[in-house]
Chain A
Amino acid sequence: EDQVTQSPEALRLQEGESSSLNCSYTVSGLRGLFWYRQDPGKGPEFLFTLYSAGEEKEKERLKATLTKKESFLHITAPKPEDSATYLCAVQAVGGSQGNLIFGKGTKLSVKP
């Protein structure tokens, strides 16, 4: 069964304290891995798509990397406005559907 596990469930950082969020996945074949940011009561906001092991993408203080079994979201010198829940999702190869399988997310809190 395809599944996505994110860790930790919650992470508290001081402003400027860099860290990483983990996303482990098990799929029959990976078509793409997606990172989203979700603020309370809002819809997920697209951040990155990664397609193959070794790929990296960056946006401001965020950098996403991908291996054959997991992905990391590195947050460098975070600011309070980076506080949100970060969701990882995969799209599996096979079939005609394009739905995403989501992890339960990591809730990040950044204190000033």
Chain B
Amino acid sequence: DSGVTQTPKHLITATGQRVTLRCSPRSGDLSVYWYQQSLDQGLQFLIQYYNGEERAKGNILERFSAQQFPDLHSELNLSSLELGDSALYFCASSVAASGAYEQYFGPGTRLTVT
């Protein structure tokens, strides 16, 4: 158990809908990262928050957004869903914003768009 929690574990929804994925980092970690894992692309970085502030953006679509709340939990919002958005979404946390600190991953949310 990494100490990072994610809900829900599974999500099935239709194209055009909007969903929210939730992540709670390990106790003491201030940085939260979101990654998308699909079969053909591997793990792709989406966005990073540190202590409530957006820190870095990766290959995140404009239809996707995220935020980190004062209690440090984070939410990833996915809207106007398309079939290609079906993937595993992972949240990871680390103690700092940068520096080679290990990132600990949650169990993931499997999103299926039908």
Q: Which residues of A contact B (CB under 8 A)?
A: 31-32, 34, 36, 41-46, 49, 51, 87, 89, 91, 95-105
Contacts and interface: CB of A to CB of B under 8 A. Distances in A.
Given A42-B107, A49-B102, A103-B42, A98 B58 contact: no
Interface of B: 2, 4, 31, 33, 42-45, 48, 55-56, 58, 88, 90, 92, 94, 96-108, 110
Contact of B96 (A41, A98, A103, A105): A98
Contacts of A91: 100
A43 B2 contact: yes
Contacts of A87: 43
B97 A98 contact: yes
Contacts of B88: 41
B42 A96 contact: no
Nearest to A90: B100
Q: Which of B102, B107, B108 has the most chain A CB atoms closer than 10 A to its own CB?
A: B102
Contacts of A46: 2, 102-105
Given A41-B110, A46-B102, A96 B43 contact: no
A91 B92 CA distance: 14
Contacts of B99: 31, 98
9 contacts: A32-B100, A41-B88, A41-B108, A43-B106, A44-B43, A44-B105, A46-B2, A49-B100, A49-B102
Given A34-B103, A100-B103, A102-B43, 17 more contacts: A31-B99, A36-B105, A41-B88, A41-B110, A43-B92, A43-B108, A46-B103, A46-B104, A91-B100, A97-B55, A97-B98, A98-B31, A98-B48, A98-B101, A98-B103, A99-B48, A105-B42
Contacts of A36: 105
